[in-house]
Amino acid sequence: MEGFLAGLHGSPFHGPSVEFKEYRDYRPGDDPRHLDWRLYARSDRLCIRRFEQETNLRGYLLVDTSASMAYRGARARESKLECAKTVALAFGWALLRQNDAVGVLAQGPPEPGPRLDGRPPRREPRLLKPSQKPHQAGQLLRALADLEAVGGSLLPDLLARAFAAAARRSLLVVVSDFLEPAPAIQQALERARFDGHECLCLQVLDADELDFPFTGAHVFEDPETGERRRFVGEEARERYRERLERFLREYRDLWNRLQVRHVLIRTDEEPGAALARGLSSRR
Amino acid sequence: MSFLHPWLLVGAAVLAVPLWLHLRARTGAVTLFPALRFLEDQPRPRARGFRVRDALLLALRLLALLLAVAAFARPAGRGVLVTESRVHVLDNTFSQQAADGFETDRRQLLQELAAEGAGVQSAVVELTGRPRVVAGFGETREEAGARVRALTPSHQRGSYLEALRLAGSLLDQSLGARRVVRVHGDQQQNQWTEHEGSPPFLTGATVELSRVPAVAERPNLSLGETETRYFFLGDATYVDLAVPLHHRGPARSVTAVLNVNGRTVLRQQLALQPPSGTVTLQGQWRADPSQWLSGELLLEDARDALPADDRGYFCLPPVREGRVALLARSPYLRAALDPSVMKVRWAAEVLDPAGAARLLQADERALADVLVVESDYAQAQAVRDLVFRHLNNGRGVVLVLGRATPLLRPFLAELGLTVTGPAVAGPESFRAIATDHPIFRPFAGGALGDLTAARVLRHLPLRAPAATPLVYGDAGDPLLLEAAGTRGRLLAFAFGLDREGSDLPLTPAFVPFVDLLLQHARAGTAALTSALPGALVTHHVEDGPRPREVVLRQGGRVEARAAVDANGDARLTVPDRPGFHTIGYDDGTEPKGMIAVNPSPKESDLRYEARPAALSAWVVPARPEQDARAAVAVAIDDGRLPWLLLLAAAVFLAAESGALLARRAAA
């Protein structure tokens, strides 16, 4: 994890948003982006600018709490949301150990009762501001433990809130099943890149959603939209997988294009191992 | 329609179960699945939609459950207001067989039952020897009618008093505002007058007589209770029979026929004196003392209103040697009871006071059939105690009172006999003799001798208000009495049977007289040989191996069985028809006894009462302002309806199951 994090934002003690500290002579192998060309022009000397981080990295753990995250298949170790919490907690813990500040952002449950204006009920965001203080680990744990999967599609709104919360360039770790259509969050991810945020997308999917092992006649209902479909498992499986693969491919294309890190985590795997494997394979 | 248990209709809530199952089945089980977008090409599930066969199945299930709930709630017919409760008393006694009285009254009763409205509660009581409820208020008209039709004419004697008491007890539990007893009978006079003096018992009810007797009396000839006994002349055994013949009407003669053991013994034409009277038929014939004797007396050509009483049955058991305990010095008594004289008939045991004391301690079975005690022996306390023991155990006692001592007078007083003065010197003859008494009747033919030839030389003046004098002397003193009020029979001579008391022992009539006297004294312990139709009788099993049960047969047909209890007694109900019945033990065919069944002679008295005075004595009239009862509405419980509903529910469930099976087979 630390290796990954190191690769994600460079040396733990150096980062793009740091103040200039000193020069040193250029040595072969140094990142030529850090050559100070003005000094070379004045002194005919190749020197590397050394920076100091003003603070450590700020990370936001964005956990999707939409209703689809509550699903738990027959072969899953836990529900997608529980898996997401585990993964987010592990990541946040690693950031804290690196003296990075980490916080949590998630959508709360909807306000009870219907709105008179007919709009969807309000959801208050749950924000744990990034901090690197020692007690932040406990705060992180409590904040994640209180999350419940309820409500419709929340990911685009979650990302928008993250942009509002993150005043400076931050690491945005998005933990979700990403079952919304790719175009729905494409704009958000593009904005994140534009604002200079680093994004890491951890997609948590259930084994049933990936493998579609169902047989016989079923009636399924979408927990977020209430849509229902009737099918026979053996007959629908192939087509389902095709559509799923196409959907995942769209996301992969999006992430690749936006240079967003992405890891797919199955709920029938041990979350930490799945995360480590996914991160290390990306290096 | 109302329900007897309406609260059970709450069970209709169970209808929600199939309804919920039906609705649930229409939607089917749904699974939440987030990645549904990848199944967008699959069809949306439609609601199963209305299918006629589903609706039919649901309807069948709901209907079956509804019918079952209704059945348990006991639907009742339309509630009705009961305004009158009516008890019909149907006279089914023997006298009703005259002029088809029973059939006439039964038809009338059935017509009235059929015509009664829904607001009338009806019950039927049958009057026989033991009045019984044939149909209660809870029975339907049809059931009551069927039971009335099933009744057969009876030969029993019944009491209007008992029938009306039973009707009154039914009315006490009735619902109607008005309470009525309707008597369907011939209004036989002696049935009303028999208990005319009973206090009132029927309050708040009205007694109606369904018909007025067409005539005040009907001509009838009937035979009364037959009395038979053995008597002996030398070694020959004879039977003496006496039976009263009652006649009423214009008949002037009738032929009487006596059949004994299947053989006609006597056929004689008798002259009758109209308009009414009683003639005693008497006969004597030689008989075999070792065999049961069964006889039948019938009146030929009677042409009367009730032919069924023109025949009488009787039976006599074989001569059974009786046991006499003799506490007397009289040589004449001892000689008369000598085995050579009284062989087969009596076995005498001469006792002394010590023997009396021993008998006091002995088992009851050691007691003799008759105890004969002279006054001198009665001085001993043990003898006096023995006298009471015999009487209390139903044994006979004959007291021969030659002398009365101060010690004797209280003893006699305890027996209801009072010596009013010193002994009176005679001679006195038997001035008046109760010739119709069983002891003296056999002497009427003269073959047994002349009792009037005897002389009483000395007698005690006795007074006994509760006793019946059988012989009076010339001075009007009773010389022989039969006391009442004791369980065993008590006969008392006012004179001694010795040379100082009388010369009766010296007459030829003495031995048969002693025999008949002892027979009469023992009669209380004799085996039962006659009974009324339908009566409950007790047969005692004599000493010997005790059988399991006693069986009553007529011909080869078993009429009744009864188990023998620890005392050797068996209680049987005699069949309701005249004739002979043999008593046997277990499966044996040897007759151990016989019973002659004859109707009660009272039923043959065909005089009728149009306005019986007994009703005014028994009935306290209803007082409208005080005894008025509110009419009660009662739901009619048709007991068949719940079963029909359950049956219908079962049919619907079977149909539903069949439909389901058919559907699955088709699938």
Parallel, antiparallel, or unpaired: how do β-strands B478-483 and B468-472 relate?
Answer: antiparallel
- The radius of gyration of chain A from alpha carbons, rounded to an integer in Å, stands at 22
Quote the Cα angle for A19-A24-A25, to 5°.
Answer: 145
Q: How far from each other are the two terminal CA atoms of chain B, in whole angstroms?
A: 44
pLDDT at residue B549 above 70?
Answer: yes
Q: What is the pLDDT of residues B304-318, one digit of tens each?
A: 889 989 999 999 888
Candidates A67, A221, A231; nearest CB to B42: A231
Task: Tell me what pLDDT residue B526 has.
Answer: 61
Task: Tell me what pLDDT residue A112 has.
Answer: 72
Chain B partners within 8 Å of A219 (Cβ): 28-31, 45
Which residues on chain B place their C-beta less than 8 Å from a C-beta of chain A? 28-45
Token pair listed for A151: 């409500």
pLDDT at residue B518 above 90?
Answer: yes
Own/partner contacts of A233-239, CB < 8 Å, gap of 24 or more, are A236/A212, A236/B39, A236/B42, A237/A212, A239/B41
Residue B15: phi, psi to the nearest 5?
-65, -25
Task: Find out whether A198 and A169 touch, Cβ atoms under 8 Å.
Answer: yes
Task: Tell me what pLDDT residue B188 has.
Answer: 93
Q: Which residues contact B650 (CB under 8 A, 6 or more apart)?
A: B64
Task: Tell me what pLDDT residue B136 has.
Answer: 92
Higher pLDDT, B32 or B624: B32
Chain B partners within 8 Å of A228 (Cβ): 30, 36, 44-45
Chain A partners within 8 Å of B35 (Cβ): 68, 179, 209, 240, 244
**Nearest CA-CA distance, residue B44 and chain A, Å:** 4
Chain A partners within 8 Å of B40 (Cβ): 229, 243
Question: Which of B484-488, B585-589, B597-601 ranks highest by mean pLDDT?
Answer: B597-601
pLDDT at residue A11 above 50?
Answer: no
**Residue-by-residue DSSP string for B77-142:** ---EEE-EEEEEEEE-SGGGGGGGHHHHHHHHHHHHHHH--TTEEEEEEEESSS-EEEE-TTS-HH
Task: Tell me what pLDDT residue A9 has.
Answer: 47
**Nearest CA-CA distance, residue B26 and chain A, Å:** 13
A–B interface: beta-carbon pairs under 8 A:
79
Task: Tell me what pLDDT residue B103 has.
Answer: 95
pTM to 2 decimal places: 0.55
Q: Do A230 and B44 touch (CB under 8 A)?
A: yes
Q: How far apart are CA A144 and CA A85, in angstroms?
A: 6
Tracing tokens 């023109």 back to the chain, one arrives at B310
pLDDT band at A120 (very low <50, low <70, confident <90, very high): low
pLDDT at residue A18 above 80?
Answer: no
Token pair listed for B567: 């005392």
Chain B partners within 8 Å of A209 (Cβ): 33-35
Within A99-252, strands assigned E span 101-110, 123-131, 171-176, 198-205, 217-221, 228-232
Task: Tell me what pLDDT residue B588 has.
Answer: 84
Question: Which of A41-55, B108-122, B627-641 ranks highest by mean pLDDT?
Answer: B108-122
Q: How far apart are CA A21 and CA A50, in angstroms?
A: 6
Task: Find out whether B226 and B312 touch, Cβ atoms under 8 Å.
Answer: yes
Q: What is the pLDDT of residues A159-215, one digit of tens each?
A: 888 877 777 778 899 999 998 888 878 888 888 888 888 889 999 999 999 999 998
Task: Tell me what pLDDT residue B479 has.
Answer: 94
Cα A226 to its chain centre, rounded Å, is: 26
Report which DSSP code applies to A11.
S
Q: Do A68 and B34 touch (CB under 8 A)?
A: yes
Chain A partners within 8 Å of B34 (Cβ): 67-69, 71, 80, 177, 179, 206, 209, 222-224
Candidates B29, B32, B44; nearest CB to A223: B32
Cis bond before residue A16 (omega within 30° of 0): no
Cis bond before residue B427 (omega within 30° of 0): yes
**Nearest CA-CA distance, residue B70 and chain A, Å:** 40
pLDDT at residue B78 above 60?
Answer: no
Q: What is the pLDDT of residues B179-221, one digit of tens each?
A: 999 999 999 999 998 888 888 888 888 899 998 888 999 999 9
Q: Which of A55-59, B25-29, B587-591, B603-607 has the lowest mean pLDDT?
A: B25-29
- The average confidence (pLDDT) of chain B is 85
Q: What is the pLDDT of residues B442-487, one digit of tens each?
A: 888 787 888 888 999 999 999 988 889 999 999 889 999 998 778 8
Q: What is the pLDDT of residues B278-336, one digit of tens each?
A: 888 888 888 888 888 899 999 988 888 899 899 999 998 888 888 999 999 999 999 99
pLDDT at residue B276 above 80?
Answer: yes
**Residue-by-residue DSSP string for B253-300:** EEEEEEEETTEEEEEEEEE--SSEEEEEEEEEEE--TTS-EEEEEEEE
Q: Do B31 and A221 touch (CB under 8 A)?
A: yes
Exposure string (b/e) for A242-258, b if CB count within 10 Å is 16 or more? ebbeebbeebeebbeee
Q: How far apart are CA A61 and CA A201, in angstroms?
A: 10
